[in-house]
């Protein structure tokens, strides 16, 4: 029996490049960074024998023709590391190149021979030849300096040794030494570079039809404009509006999701489309397109970005139902299939059939919807249930949009299985809702956020933390009272660089479920207009404003990569630190997870990592209360009464002597 013979071409390459990180799914998807952010690259680099290896990171933006090169340095055990920053929006490429470091190897061996007091005259001759070859690749003054070094190495035994070991020569040879044969990593990897608000943002969700504060009058965009100072004062920079389109009449739901409906009921905003238009139209009771654009402009003046909902589904009255019935699934009797999640039925909504015979026509139309709202002035989209649409559709749509508008933000509302959530992030979604909503116990929070921030997930998945949504009133919020709302606020705002609340239900601490054991709100705004008393004395708006001001003023809270949990000997209390990349800003957050009883414990801090001498006292400044405390050593005791304030947000100050010293560095 004959065997198939493989044909292998000989390759005279000695350098090996392995385990390049970060790399998402073998380069299938880009990693994510924002403008100005540092990109750290690591790789295993080695060769046969005892020669040293040198390497560079090669990187460039999509608009650059030539590569930038950044040297990599040995960390330990053949692991090399380098870093660069990205500034241009859009795609950025990077890879690793490595070669035998002949000069570095020669210099290492020279030092060994000198230490052994051996004759190095022939070694200096060999080194001079390497330097002369490098001089031919250099130009101008650098070439002159290299030739002068080579001459000294040949002509002066003592001075030649000094010239060979000169640090300036090492730098020059790192630039001009021979790099053949050079090996380049087999893949060119990509970075999606987004605007800074992709990493750090603060969201507030409200129903514009409830902005009138009158349950008998439909709110308008003018009412939303009047509410902007309230949103600004609380410190939110994204105002998210559920669907603003016309709502269908057929099978319109009544209050509390009543399938029988009710006379005059406004219906669910997610039942999109009527005779008044579809996904590119505005509900006439909210105002006109010009009114909406006035809202966009008024919000921008206050530093607020208006996000709208992309809900790719239709009411039975949507214009597409008549114009394109082929875009929907049909029952055997020819009728269009309404949405179901057995045993639930949503007869007021028709899902789109992304696999219909005219799927390309449907996809093009949905892309036109996104482009329409971008032309209107929208740059941020919250996407409803993206996991119920094809992965391929989102990769195509988001990729196409970002080619022309790399600043656009897509937030994935995908409360689904982890792998599905992560796949959507890899495909292009800028941010994603998370399981934070249901992570309440200490070990759950620590485990989940370690996964999100300290594993490869951090390279492609940006969490956006929501303690509540119009669909979700957790059991804890139903029973925990003000202490639980405050604790969840602080956790969301400090664990995540991006977080949001559904208001005014959150700041007014709405606890009423539709029925016991369910997470649906009673009298949900999804089905009726609500009037909210924002002047209630128990409104959390002032506390929210303080928390959001703390977020803005402390760069440590603008990212997630430097989150670390601290030991505290009480399962009802959680503690964690966030720092900036350079360690200049350190925030320690401690939260009592028990909404009923005072809890305390000894908090352990990694003082060495924070640059604080263990034998010196240091100060922690509680940014919530403005109180200051002097702590000593690694472990310090604290207590939290949930009925007073269930959390501390400390700024950790290094000893004054340390700070004073740095001013002169």
Structure-token match 């080194």, residue found: 127
The 3 state secondary structure assigned to 331-386 is CCCCCECCEEECCEEECCCEEECCCCCCHHHHHHHHHHHHHHHHHHCCCEEEEECH
Helices of type H across 65-220? 102-115, 121-137, 140-155, 157-164, 167-176
Do 453 and 561 contact (CB within 8 A), yes or no?
yes
**Which residues are known catalytic residues?**
384, 413
Task: Give the CA angle between residues 628, 630, 631 to the nearest 5°.
Answer: 130
Structure tokens at 52: 């040293």
Residue 222 CB contacts under 8 Å (≥ 6 apart), including other chains: 287, 291
Reduced to 3 states, what is the DSSP secondary structure of residue 570? Answer: coil
Cα diameter, the chain: 102
Structural contact between residues 496 and 411, judged by C-beta atoms closer than 8 angstroms: no
Gap between the Cα atoms of 14 and 53, Å rounded: 10
Instruction: Give the Cα separation of 509 and 323 in Å (integer).
Output: 45
Strand 38-47, strand 15-21: pairing: antiparallel
Q: Mind giving me the DSSP string for 164-181?
A: HT-HHHHHHHHHHS---S
Q: Which helix (H) or strand (E) holds 662?
A: helix 656-662
Task: Give yes or no for a cis peptide into 181 (omega within 30° of 0).
Answer: yes
Bridge partners, residue 149, by sequence: none
Task: Give 387-440 as a DSSP string.
Answer: GGS-HHHHHHHHHHHHHH-TT-EEEEE--S-HHHHHHHHHHT-SEE--GGGG--
Strands of 573-579's sheet in order across: 563-566, 573-579, 586-592, 647-653, 618-622, 628-631
Structure tokens at 373: 């709202």
CA 234 to chain centre: 22
Radius of gyration of the chain (CA): 31
Q: Are 255 and 527 in contact (CB under 8 A)?
A: yes
Nearest one of 125, 182, 196, 219 to 11, comparing CA atoms: 182
């Amino acid at each position: 029996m004959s065997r198939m013979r493989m044909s292998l071409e000989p390759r005279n390459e000695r350098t090996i490049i392995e385990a390049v990180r970060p790399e998402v799914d073998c380069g299938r998807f880009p990693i994510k960074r924002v403008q100005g952010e540092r990109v750290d690259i690591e790789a295993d680099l080695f060769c046969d024998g005892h020669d040293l290896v040198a390497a560079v990171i090669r990187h460039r933006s999509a608009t650059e023709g030539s590569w930038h090169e950044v040297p990599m340095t040995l960390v330990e055990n053949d692991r090399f590391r380098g870093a660069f920053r990205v500034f241009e929006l859009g795609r950025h490429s990077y890879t690793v190149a490595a070669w035998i470091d002949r000069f570095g190897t020669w210099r290492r061996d020279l030092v060994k021979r000198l230490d052994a007091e051996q004759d190095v005259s022939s070694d200096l001759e060999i080194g001079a030849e390497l330097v002369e070859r490098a001089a031919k690749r250099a130009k101008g003054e650098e070439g002159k300096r290299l030739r002068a070094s080579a001459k000294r190495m040949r002509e002066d035994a003592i001075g030649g040794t000094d010239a060979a070991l000169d640090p300036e020569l090492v730098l020059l040879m790192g630039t001009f030494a021979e790099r053949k044969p050079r090996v380049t990593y087999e893949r060119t990897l990509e970075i999606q570079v987004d605007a800074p608000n992709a990493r750090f943002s603060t969201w507030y969700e409200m129903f514009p039809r409830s902005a009138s504060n009158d349950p008998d009058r439909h709110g308008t965009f003018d009412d939303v404009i009047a509410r902007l100072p309230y949103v600004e004062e609380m410190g939110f920079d994204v105002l998210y509006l559920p669907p603003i389109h016309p709502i269908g009449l057929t099978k319109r739901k009544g209050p509390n999701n009543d399938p029988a409906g009710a006379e005059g009921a406004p219906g669910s905003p997610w039942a999109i489309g009527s005779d008044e238009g579809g996904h590119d139209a505005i509900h006439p009771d909210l105002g006109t397109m010009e009114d909406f654009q006035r809202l966009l402009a008024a919000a921008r003046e206050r530093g607020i970005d208006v996000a709208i909902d992309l809900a790719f589904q239709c009411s039975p009255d949507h214009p597409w139902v008549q114009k394109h019935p082929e875009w929907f699934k049909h029952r055997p009797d020819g009728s269009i299939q309404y949405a179901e999640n057995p045993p639930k039925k949503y007869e007021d909504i028709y899902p789109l059939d992304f696999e219909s015979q005219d799927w390309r026509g449907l996809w093009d139309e949905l892309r036109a919807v996104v482009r329409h709202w971008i032309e209107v002035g929208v740059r941020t989209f919250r996407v409803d249930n993206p996991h119920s649409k094809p992965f391929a559709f989102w990769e195509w749509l988001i990729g196409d949009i970002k080619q022309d508008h790399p600043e656009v933000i897509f937030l994935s509302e995908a409360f689904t299985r982890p792998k599905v959530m992560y796949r959507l992030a890899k495909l292009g979604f800028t941010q994603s809702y998370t399981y934070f909503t249901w992570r309440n116990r200490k070990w759950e929070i620590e485990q989940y956020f370690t996964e999100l921030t300290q594993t490869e997930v951090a390279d492609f998945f940006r969490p956006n933390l929501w303690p509540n949504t119009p669909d979700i009133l957790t059991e804890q919020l139903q029973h925990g009272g003000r202490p639980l709302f405050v604790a969840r606020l602080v956790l969301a705002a400090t664990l995540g660089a991006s977080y949001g609340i559904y208001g005014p239900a959150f700041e007014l601490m709405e606890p009423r479920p539709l029925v016991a054991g369910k997470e649906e709100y009673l009298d949900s705004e999804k089905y009726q207009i609500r009037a909210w008393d924002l002047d209630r004395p128990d409104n959390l708006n002032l506390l929210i404003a303080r928390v959001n001001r703390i977020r803005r003023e402390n760069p440590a809270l603008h990212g997630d990569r430097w989150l670390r949990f601290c030991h505290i000997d009480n399962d009802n209390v959680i503690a964690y630190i966030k720092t900036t990349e350079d360690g200049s800003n350190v925030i320690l957050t401690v939260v009592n997870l028990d909404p009923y009883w005072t809890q305390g414990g000894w908090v352990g801090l990694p003082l060495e990592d924070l640059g604080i001498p263990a034998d010196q006292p240091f100060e922690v400044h509680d940014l919530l209360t403005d109180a200051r405390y002097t702590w000593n050593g690694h472990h310090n005791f604290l207590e939290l009464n949930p009925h007073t304030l269930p959390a501390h947000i400390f700024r950790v100050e290094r000893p004054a002597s340390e700070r004073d010293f740095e001013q002169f560095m």
